[in-house]
Structure 1
Amino acid sequence: MTPFDPVAEFDRQVRTLTGLGYPKLSGLTDDRFTALLEPLRATVPAATAGADRDPEAGRVPFVLVVTRELAPIEETMPRTALRGGGRPGFVDRSFEPGALERFVATPETNLPDQWAYLLIGVERGEEFCGVVPRDAMATIAERGRSLLTIEEGIALLTQFPELLVKNRCFSLGGSRSGDRRVPALWISQKAPKLGWCWEGNPHTWLGMASAAGRRTGDAAA
């Protein structure tokens, strides 16, 4: 097995975003987009030291996240797909007009004030399949881990499409809109779908994703 090279993985993730048209989506040239992400490169080795890398089991050391201020959710979700390609991802119609704008990061996520950052120590959270989302979120908080936002979930799916599989889908409790809805990513019509479920309703096929933390170009968040 080839040893994990975090810097090579960082470069792969940058190439993936560039290949999907993120620079144009962000209103930047390829060079300016790459330059925006470059300060994160130096933080990767330390941020991922000792991290578990097993995408098939739902664990990855880090994911490069571009925020909605740079790349809108409505544009990034269609750039996702299941492993092997196929139909593009989509936002479910259950999000009424203007709803996505109201699903913002909770104060507990303590998001960096940056356009791009690293999400580290990511877990898909299938251990929470069948658990009431409200209870899963409480358990994750007790462990000192952080719930994923919608943008982070899309970033995870973009870079690691093999994580979204039947009966191993995941909620994104780090984005809320002030009501009982919890956004989630699952499979519908043979494509990734961004939808939501009630915080009190468990689903056997829906876990709760989390991360160890977030890191910018010069500090942990």
Structure 2
Amino acid sequence: MSKTLHVTTSVPTLPALSAQAERLVELGVHEVAGLSAAEIRAFAEANAGANAGADGALLAVHPDRAPASALAPLLSSEGKPGFVVVDMPDVDLFAPIDTITLPSTPLYLLTDVDRGDHMANWSPDEALPALAADSRTPLLLSEGIHWALQQPAALERNHCYMTIGSRLRKANGALDARTPALWFSNGTGRDGRERRNAPKVGWCWAGNRHTWLSFASATDRRGQAAL
């Protein structure tokens, strides 16, 4: 598949970092991460404003502090909490791919987060080199959940996204063929009817295409104003 240049989607701009900090505190993410509410707020304040280059950035907690399994139930739609599919019990073992180096700070920023709608119906194997060629980095699963927590409109029916920055490496060094993604449950199979329309953390094969899944990415990660 030929490369398509980066196209900005219509997802609303993220709230100010101060509002994102309050959202994390409201959800109790700071407690999951072993941080105080004051530390979350101080990081947001230190990085706020155009001078810090953080306008529109996403505030994320390092996955070592707040893993996907702890964040997924905080997602919500129609009053239903998010969940991880039952055949992904190893969700927290999915780690950054070799091309991604995370900031060493417990809190960091992602700039210019995008859903990548122009890449819908691409496979993960096709999307990864195209993102790299466009100087973009794919989101980790935990980062993708952070985005949906802060901007629920980023996740919508028929416009959901994969987070191919996270992969599981087997004991022999090869990558597991599963690639994580966020979408909405149809309430079928082992999800259960009661979970219809609930936000869902699941996976797809790295070589498969899906018309309703694109590829979330950013331009950079920054751990400014380390705590």
**Fold match by TM threshold 0.5:** yes
For the pair 1:86 / 2:83, whether they are aligned, the reply is: no
Query: Percent identity between the aligned chains?
Result: 35
Does structure 2 retain, via aligned residues, the 8 Å contact 1:64–1:116? yes
Number of aligned positions between the proteins: 199
Does structure 1 retain, via aligned residues, the 8 Å contact 2:18–2:44? no
Q: Tell me the SS of whatever aligns to 2:179.
A: strand
CA shift in 2, pair 1:209/1:28, >3 Å? closer
CA RMSD of aligned residues (A): 2.3
Does structure 2 retain, via aligned residues, the 8 Å contact 1:43–1:217? no
1:197 & 1:149 partners in 2: Cα distance?
A: 15
C-alpha distance after superposition, 1:129-163 (max 9, x if no partner) = 11122111111111110000011101101100111
Does structure 2 retain, via aligned residues, the 8 Å contact 1:62–1:120? yes
For the pair 1:65 / 2:65, whether they are aligned, the reply is: no
Determine the structure 2 residue equivalent to 1:198.
205
Q: Tell me the SS of whatever aligns to 2:221.
A: strand
For the pair 1:140 / 2:131, whether they are aligned, the reply is: yes
Determine the structure 2 residue equivalent to 1:31.
38
TM-score computed with the length of structure 1 as normaliser: 0.82
2:85 & 2:50 partners in 1: Cα distance?
A: 35
C-alpha distance after superposition, 1:94-118 (max 9, x if no partner) = 213xx12320011212211121100
Question: Pairwise mapping of residues 79-158 of structure 1 onto structure 2 (< 5 A)?
Answer: 79-82=74-77, 85-96=78-89, 99-158=90-149
CA shift in 2, pair 1:111/1:215, >3 Å? same
1:72: Cα distance to partner?
Answer: 2.8
Does structure 2 retain, via aligned residues, the 8 Å contact 1:10–1:44? no
* Unmatched 5+ stretches in structure 2: 1-11, 169-174, 186-195
Counterpart pick for 1:9 among 3, 16, 21: 16
1:66: Cα distance to partner?
Answer: 0.6
C-alpha distance after superposition, 1:9-48 (max 9, x if no partner) = 1111011111111222223432244345544336774244
Counterpart pick for 1:186 among 183, 189, 193: 183
For the pair 1:215 / 2:208, whether they are aligned, the reply is: no
C-alpha distance after superposition, 1:179-199 (max 9, x if no partner) = 111100011121111111001
CA shift in 2, pair 1:206/1:136, >3 Å? same
Does structure 1 retain, via aligned residues, the 8 Å contact 2:180–2:203? yes
1:218: Cα distance to partner?
Answer: 5.1
TM-score computed with the length of structure 2 as normaliser: 0.80
1:5 & 1:192 partners in 2: Cα distance?
A: 20
1:87: Cα distance to partner?
Answer: 0.4
1:208 & 1:194 partners in 2: Cα distance?
A: 14
Does structure 2 retain, via aligned residues, the 8 Å contact 1:43–1:218? no
Letter paired with 2:70: E
Letter paired with 2:198: A
Does structure 1 retain, via aligned residues, the 8 Å contact 2:17–2:45? no
* Unmatched 5+ stretches in structure 1: 49-60
Q: Tell me the SS of whatever aligns to 2:148.
A: helix
More helix by share: 1
